[in-house]
Chains A and B, each alone.
Chain A
Amino acid sequence: MRSLLDKYLLFIPFILWIFCFRYFLNGHLPLEADALSYAEQITFYTTNLSHGVYPLWSPGWWSGVPYDFFLRRMGDVNPLFSLIVLLKWLGVSSAMAYLIFITMYYFLAGWAFYLITRLLLEDRFYAFSAYVIFLFSSWGCQIFFNYIIIIFVPIIWFFYFLLRFSQEFKKGHLLGMCLCVGIILTTYIPFFFLTILTFFSFFYAVFYFSDLCAFLRRGLGFLANNKIFAVFCIFFLLISCVPGLLFYKESKSGTFVMPSRHSGADAASQVTVGIENVANGDIISHGDFDHIFDDQANMGLGDIYIPYIFFLFLLSAALGKVNKLIFFLLFNVLGVTLITITSAGGLHHFLYEHLIIFKFIRNIYYFFWLAILPMSILLAVIAFRSLLNAIAGSSKKTAWMVFIIISHLLLVVFLCGHQGVLGGAWVAVAVSLIFFLIYIWSDKKISYPAGFLLVFMAVFFQSAQLYATLEKRTSTLQRQVDHQVSTTLQSSGKMDLYYASPWFAVLVNYIDMPVLNAYRGHQFILYDNVFPYADTPEFFKSFQASLSSGSNVAYVSKNETSDADWRNVPDAAAAADVDPVSLGELSLVSHDANTWKVRTHLTNSRFLVINDNYNSDWHAFINGHPARLLRANVSFKGLWVPSGDSQIVLRFSSPKWYLYHFGLIAFFAGTFLYLLLMLRKQRGTYV
């Protein structure tokens, strides 16, 4: 029995977690907020990869944008994305493959958390307690609500490898650290990790200075003894920095804009965020704490929930002996919190002004999920251990019992002062009390498996009830959101662009959305007349009229073109040819993220506009010869096509970049496999 439970210690709670979130995992309830966008982008990426295409252009996002932004958001070199490709190859639908991936990814996070706790506390029971509290906290909801699981997994595994490395100084652990950092560095937001690491290092130096010295001494010795391996690790980290640096360069080049993100920012990079915008992304603005103790039936997917046994641990442990690890975690939590509250604390403003990395962090409340919550759970479990040790070392059973009852009553009284606390909370308190009483009145040892079971029950019953209400509420909310979205789409208001081509942003600013959307409904348009234009408000007025009437005039920028590109055909038809496919003048041969291949059959030379955004990295070829690609109708691609039969190819970027990206994927995948092999060789007690 015991060995069986040992084996499934992590899996049984996880299976029950899957049961709690079955409505999301079976696709009955949709992903929300940023999670939806990330799911779409990761699915797009992996679908292209499974077809052998490395997407560098996203044609579906506001009429086309460079895809590098999305690649950096997801961290394209993450070897675990291959799981999605594999699942799709096995016939699993794209949506389901993604859901399986994030579920597995969440399990990886929980597993790492369990391993870290076990390493620190050297006890399976406390590691299990920390694991179930973490698993059933609303961290699990986040995978359906935002994207931070993508960066959390490498962060938490980094700390696991760091701890292992500090104990054993083995190659595998160092490589594990490098791989995790490498994955984080390839995303456009490695700064969350860097901040957490900085706090961690600072407080480690404060609380464990002699340990730090010893670690550095041994670490340097290890590197000196493994020079080639050390050089490889450094090389790996340097290579990992390349995508991020290239993206940073691109973000300053003007090839894309991020109006809603960049507004108020004083740096050139479009990815930087204005200080006001950051304050809107902090923990106070998000208000995710509102339902921890109140109105739980109305908890949203983004709200914070921690099983109440966490608070019971903290309350009851008040008389346990404090230790350095508790202080270390506490100061880390407080330090990160001070940043997370932005304008309500002075630290963030100072860092924003003096450290460029803080200009890149918008949703600063993610620190809560990435550091504050996991560290707080760890702190509570360490305090809990301290309490149990104190009880075990004392002979005053009655006194401890009274204290435990009082601390539980305190929470009960506190909860009675709040409205909308679900029944599961009382079950959690009761089960926790039973656990402590059994512990005090038995031989002060955690009985196996009863102790595990009681902690798990205290967490699970409350969480299961809460997530059941979440399911009902989310489906109701979704209907309301659908209604609001359809209402908004029908209105003629300006769209709030998050990421777009600069020229498309101009169009959205000047042209009414219904007119623009109707125009974008035509993939190909053939024109006889091409006129130059200058960027003036008057032009955009007449351009809107031209788009509305479907006139036979395409416009090209006066500054970017010459007389040879313009043409006026007085006796041409009044209207442009918006459906050349059905007239047999044009056929689409093939199209993927990076390429357009079309065949034309024209009686006379005409100007073809492809309603996919222009970018200087797009190259055109007509019958195998390079052709001049123009920015037409403000934002789109246009080129002159000769009469007769022509084969037109448009290609984004150049072969060397495809090679670079595929090479990088292969490099990371190879390192990952190498890491697995090394870990298998040096398998320790904990994995």
Chain B
Amino acid sequence: MFRTLASAIQWFLSRVLVIYIILFIFIISFVDLKAFDMRIKIRRLNNAIPDFSDMIIFSKDPKAKIEVDWKSYQRYFEIIMKYMPDDLVSRQLLGYADYYSGQEQKAIDLLQTSSVLNGQNLFWPNYNLGIIYYKRGMWPQAAQCFLKVVSSSPKLTLFLMENSIVYKQIFASPYFKYSISDEIKDAQSEANILLLSCLYSMRQYDKVILLSNLAITNDLSYKDAFYNYAGLSYFAAGQYQKAFVLFQKSLTIEKNDPETYYYISGIFQKAGQLEQARAFLQISYTLHQKNDPRFPYESQDSLRFF
């Protein structure tokens, strides 16, 4: 028995097979497998870093660049997700890239799972979710998301962005020439407008008036839009006098929004002052013809990551 075993071992050791065993012993003895694995991960991540310029340009103006290679961004964010599944920033950015590469449901899932950190609502995932729901006409869901956005902490958003390696790579691009705080403020204003738009579509005028007043007192951009929504709600509720005052206030801030003139025209029409109504309608029509891309504010409904 012993002799058979010995000869079997001897036979075994005399075969090329033995080099695999040597190889195995070599690896476990001399190679720091943990360091090896870590370095492979780092290298794969480094190799996958895309050129963020297209994504930045697209985010700023989705009409400026039609062909964006979303695959390179998806690949990069997916690799990060593989190694760091808890990284919410990458998850949210993957959601962004997935949405624009046509994978809407996957994007929604990713944004939903990246929208809360330790009980705190995060700004960008909720903003983007809100936009998707808004585009689908799902007003209650969109309103809920935008409500989370307006109640989220801008400081936390800024902190997360400034401390994220991916965002650092984005900021390092020569195409990133923006102030993050300004962009967050701009997106907050947008979120407020879209929230008011959702509530208005849901005919919750009292909430629109309440939130408009709140937004007007806050340090936000596009205050004319908030006056407009408050005015619209009074208009819908038949309180034309209050609506007129608010539309006038809106005009003192922004004179080129055709919608404001349109509704003032409506008030004059209701009051039977047809001459003024016609004059305001004419101005509204002329402004419409100019196709100012800023209006209506609700049309700026694209996903953002900064």
Contacts and interface: CB of A to CB of B under 8 A. Distances in A.
Interface of A: 279, 284-287, 290, 314, 317-322, 326-327, 330, 334, 338, 341, 343-347, 379, 383, 386-387, 484, 487-488, 491, 493
Interface string B25-49: 0100011110110011001100100
A317 B30 contact: no
B15 interface: yes
Interface string B1-45: 000000000000111111110110010001111011001100110
28 contacts: A279-B39, A284-B40, A284-B43, A287-B43, A287-B44, A314-B16, A317-B16, A319-B16, A320-B15, A320-B16, A321-B15, A322-B16, A327-B19, A330-B19, A330-B23, A341-B31, A341-B36, A343-B39, A344-B32, A344-B33, A344-B35, A345-B30, A379-B19, A387-B16, A487-B174, A488-B174, A491-B174, A493-B174
A322 B14 contact: yes
Contacts of A279: 39
Nearest to B34: A344
Most buried by B among A279, A319, A379: A319
B51 interface: yes
Contacts of A290: 44
B53 interface: yes
A36 to B, nearest CB: 20
A326 B13 CA distance: 13
| Residue from B15, B20, B23 having most chain A Cβ neighbours under 10 A | B15
Where chain B touches its partner, the secondary structure class is helix
B15 A338 contact: no
Contacts of A321: 14-16
Nearest to A386: B16
Contact of A319 (B15, B30, B43, B174): B15
Contact of A330 (B15, B22, B43): B22
Contacts of B36: 284, 341, 344
Given A287-B44, A321-B16, A346 B53 contact: no
Q: Which 5 A-B pairs have the closest CB atoms?
A: A344-B36, A491-B174, A318-B17, A284-B39, A344-B35
Among A327, A341, A344, residue most surrounded by chain B Cβ atoms (within 10 Å): A344
A344 B32 CA distance: 5
Given A284-B40, A321-B15, A338 B47 contact: no
Interface in B64-90: none
Contacts of A285: 39, 43
A223 B214 CA distance: 98
A338 B23 CA distance: 12
A338 B36 CA distance: 12
Nearest to A331: B22
Given A321-B14, A484-B51, A346 B30 contact: yes
B47 A319 contact: no
Contact of A345 (B13, B19, B20, B32): B32
Given A284-B36, A343-B39, A487 B19 contact: no
Contact of B16 (A287, A318, A334): A318
Given A344-B31, A344-B39, A491-B174, A334 B15 contact: no
Contacts of B26: 334
Contacts of B35: 343-344
A46 B43 CA distance: 38
Contacts of A347: 30
Contacts of A320: 15-16
A365 to B, nearest CB: 11
A487 B52 CA distance: 12
A319 B20 CA distance: 12
Contacts of B13: 322
A386 B53 CA distance: 56
User: Taking each of B16, B19, B33, which has the highest tally of chain A beta carbons within 10 Å of its own beta carbon?
Assistant: B16
B32 to A, nearest CB: 5
Contacts of B14: 321-322
Interface string B204-222: 0000000000000000000
A346 B33 CA distance: 12
Contacts of A484: 51
Given A284-B40, A287-B44, A493-B174, A322 B30 contact: no
Nearest to A344: B36
A345 B31 contact: yes
B229 to A, nearest CB: 42
A318 B39 contact: no
Given A290-B44, A322-B19, 6 more contacts: A320-B16, A322-B14, A322-B15, A343-B39, A383-B19, A487-B174
B49 to A, nearest CB: 12
Contacts of B47: 287
A318 B31 contact: no
Contact of A487 (B15, B23, B32, B53): B53
Contacts of A488: 174
Given A344-B36, A345-B32, A487-B53, A318 B174 contact: no
A326 B16 contact: yes
A553 B47 CA distance: 47
A480 to B, nearest CB: 8
Contacts of B22: 330, 334
A157 B13 CA distance: 34
Given A319-B16, A330-B22, A287 B40 contact: yes
A290 B53 CA distance: 26
Contacts of B40: 284, 287
B16 to A, nearest CB: 5
Contacts of A387: 16
A203 to B, nearest CB: 13
